């Protein structure tokens, strides 16, 4: 078999080309942010900063959507699981094959339509107006803030891990570099800068992963030697359940529900539809996205599996992706390919910083507390909160937990448990009421927290807590809505048309 030397030991010799590639990557990112910021001049600040004046096109929408979705968990945590658990992780990730269909097909067009019609800039905005409830808006904003800070911590950790392996940097220095870079361009350029840099980063991600996969397959001599090696270590690495019963049927089912639905409950993803302003843009973006996802996700998991063969001596599974790249890709190209996970991390951080910033400035300060905002004041507050949230996540990330992917799953499924039912009921069911939305929100979030506290990631019947939380959330939302008086007729007609009355 090829190299069995720990991949991080190989890195130091290659660091010059890797460093140059990273510098080039960061320079391009800042140039794009600068161009976006120039284009934004003279526009109304809040609408420009949080939804780019609703002028995002299909390509940028598709790429920013997928770049936000693909995080450090995707590029660091998921390959780490594949490295540990072999081919079973292809079932674990298989729900992504329908993620564009559910993510854009179910809510995309509807939210774009309602966003343009109502002027909503954030998801709490939309729910607040649908149910005429400031309380609902405030609670959703606070939950977004709490869970996204946890998610941000995971991204910072992932970014620092890439820096550790790619540049031989100490963990703390990697953290500082990642957080400083992304916080500055997010605060500077707002949504348009985030979307443009996301689009660039999405291209880097896909290019990097496809190149890495090609080189890794070449170096391994195809799948045959890898399968032999895995079978020698444990035949379960080739089985659908994986070693140590990693993926029993109940968990396979859970993840096929979690991934396609979790994207529906992500304020950072849904807010992209608010920025498109035209339903035809969503339709075109769906087509672009489905091709992108098909190429990206199976490649990432396969790379993790190849990594077990090519880079077996890593210190922690989270190093599987960068170590495999280093082991397989030629020196002159390693920097570009290593920029792929870095791009995924930066694009997610920037989007989440923006959403948490909007939760504070737009949802809590502006709409709930009712403070007036001049453009100047909005700019100061938005940029200030972006830096503040970045600093809080950075401080927490200095003491990293072991597995990134579990933080990501907790945050994303927690948000989904909270947001999905109230959102779907709000936009698709005229009979949904404010009390029903409260019941769905508290039922979903409370049930999720309770199950995690009592039974961790495997709840009743071995299913993920998300499945039960979501079911309860919908059930309570529907029952309580039916038991309470409908929202006023004018509001229902305004949202649903004549049949909504």
Contacts to another protein from residues 419-458, by CB under 8 A: 428
Quote the CA–CA distance of 398 and 456 in Å, as a whole number.
Answer: 24
Q: Figure out which of the listed residues 2, 55, 240, 243 binds another protein, where binding follows CB under 8 A.
A: 240
Give the Cα-Cα-Cα angle 290, 291, 297 (nearest 5 degrees): 85
Judged by CB, which is closer to another protein: 72, or 304? 304
Q: Enumerate helices (H) and strands (E) in the chain, giving the number of each.
A: 22, 0
Rounded to the nearest whole angstrom, what is the least distance from the CB of residue 307 to another protein in the complex?
15
Residue 212 CA to residue 204 CA, distance in Å, equals 12
CA distance to 290, 322, 334, per residue, from 337 (Å): 22, 9, 5
Binding mask 284-313 for another protein (x = CB under 8 A): x-xx--xx--x---x---------------
In the complex, the smallest distance separating the C-beta of residue 308 from another protein, rounded to whole angstroms, is 14
Alpha-carbon distance 230 to 232, whole Å? Answer: 5
What span, in angstroms and rounded, lies between the C-alpha atoms of 296 and 218?
18
Which of 25, 45, 50, 87 is in the footprint of another protein by CB under 8 A?
87
Q: Shortest approach of another protein to residue 115 CB, angstroms? A: 9
**Binding window for another protein (CB under 8 A); candidates: 4-12, 34-42, 208-216, 362-370:** 362-370
Percentages of the chain per state (helix, strand, coil), in multiples of 5? 85, 0, 15
Burial of 404 from C-beta contacts in 10 A (0-12 / 13-18 / 19+): buried
Restricting to residues 196-225, which ones interact with another protein according to CB under 8 A?
Answer: 222-225
Q: Does position 489 bind another protein by CB under 8 A?
A: no
What is the smallest separation between the CB atom of 220 and another protein, expressed in angstroms?
A: 9
Total residues in contact with another protein, by rule CB under 8 A: 74
Distance CA 479, CA 463 (A): 24
Burial group, residue 376, by CB count within 10 angstroms (0-12, 13-18, 19+): exposed
**Distance between CA 423 and CA 416 in Å, rounded?**
10
- Cα distance between residue 306 and residue 216, in whole Å: 7
Site for another protein contains 235 (CB under 8 A):
yes
CB of 87 or CB of 352, closer to another protein: 87
**Shortest distance in whole angstroms from residue 65 CB to another protein:** 14
Tell me if 1 contacts another protein by CB under 8 A. Answer: no
Q: By CB under 8 A, tell whether 100 contacts another protein.
A: yes
Max distance between CA atoms of the chain, in angstroms, equals: 71
Query: What number of other Cβ atoms are within 10 A of residue 70's Cβ?
Result: 30
How long is the chain?
A: 501
Using CB under 8 A as the binding rule, whether residue 363 contacts another protein is answered as no
Among 139, 282, 326, 420, the residue binding another protein under the rule CB under 8 A is 282
**Least distance to another protein from the beta carbon of 7, Å?**
22
Q: Does 318 bind another protein (CB under 8 A)?
A: no
Structure tokens at 96: 């992504």
The smaller minimum CB distance to another protein, of residues 221 and 330, is found at 221
The answer to whether residue 176 forms part of the interface with another protein (CB under 8 A) is: no
249 lies in the site for another protein, by CB under 8 A: yes
Binding positions for another protein, 41-80, rule CB under 8 A = 46
Q: Which of 149, 238, 388, 479 binds another protein (CB under 8 A)?
A: 238
* Residue 464 found at the interface with another protein (CB under 8 A): no
């Amino acid at each position: 078999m090829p190299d069995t030397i720990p991949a991080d030991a190989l890195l130091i010799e290659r660091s010059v080309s890797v460093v140059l590639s990273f510098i080039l990557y960061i320079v391009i990112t800042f140039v794009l942010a600068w161009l976006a910021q120039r284009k934004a001049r003279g526009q109304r600040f809040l609408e420009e900063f949080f939804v780019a004046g609703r002028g995002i096109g299909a390509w940028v929408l598709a790429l920013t959507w997928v770049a936000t979705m693909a995080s450090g968990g995707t590029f660091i945590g998921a390959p780490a699981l594949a490295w540990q658990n072999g081919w079973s992780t292809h079932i674990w990730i298989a729900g992504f094959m329908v993620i564009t269909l559910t993510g854009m097909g179910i809510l995309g067009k509807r939210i774009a339509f309602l966003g343009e019609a109502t002027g909503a800039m954030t998801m709490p905005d939309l729910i607040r107006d649908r149910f005429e409830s400031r309380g609902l808006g405030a609670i959703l904003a606070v939950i977004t803030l709490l869970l996204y800070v946890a998610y941000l911590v995971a991204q910072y950790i992932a970014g620092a891990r890439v820096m550790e392996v790619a540049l031989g940097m100490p963990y703390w220095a990697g953290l500082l570099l990642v957080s400083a870079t992304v916080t500055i361009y997010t605060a500077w350029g707002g949504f348009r800068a985030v979307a443009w840099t996301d689009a660039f980063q999405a291209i880097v991600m896909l290019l990097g992963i496809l190149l890495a996969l090609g080189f890794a397959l070449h170096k391994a001599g195809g799948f045959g030697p890898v399968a032999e090696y895995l079978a020698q270590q444990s035949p379960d690495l080739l089985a659908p359940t994986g070693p140590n019963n990693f993926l029993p049927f109940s968990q396979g089912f859970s993840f096929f529900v979690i991934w396609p639905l979790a994207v529906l409950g992500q304020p950072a993803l849904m807010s992209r539809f608010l920025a498109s302003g035209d339903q035809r843009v969503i339709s075109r973006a769906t087509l672009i996205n489905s091709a992108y996802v098909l190429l990206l996700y199976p490649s990432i998991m396969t790379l993790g599996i190849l990594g077990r063969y090519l880079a077996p001596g890593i210190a922690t599974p989270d190093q599987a992706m960068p170590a495999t790249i280093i082991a397989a890709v030629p020196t002159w190209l390693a920097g570009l390919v290593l920029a792929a996970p870095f791009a995924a991390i930066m694009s997610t951080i920037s989007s989440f910083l923006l959403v948490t910033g909007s939760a504070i400035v737009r949802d809590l300060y502006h709409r709930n507390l009712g403070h007036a905002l001049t453009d100047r004041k909005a700019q100061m507050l938005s940029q200030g909160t972006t830096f503040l949230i970045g600093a809080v996540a950075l401080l927490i990330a200095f003491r990293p937990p072991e597995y990134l992917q579990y933080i990501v799953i907790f945050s994303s499924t927690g948000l989904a448990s909270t947001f999905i039912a109230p959102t779907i009921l709000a936009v698709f069911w005229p009979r949904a009421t404010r009390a029903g939305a409260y019941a769905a929100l508290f039922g979903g979030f409370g049930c999720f927290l309770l199950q995690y506290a009592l039974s961790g990631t495997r709840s009743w019947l071995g299913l993920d807590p998300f499945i039960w939380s979501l079911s309860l959330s919908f059930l309570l939302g529907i029952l309580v809505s039916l038991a309470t008086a409908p929202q006023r007729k004018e509001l229902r007609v305004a949202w649903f048309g004549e049949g909504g009355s």
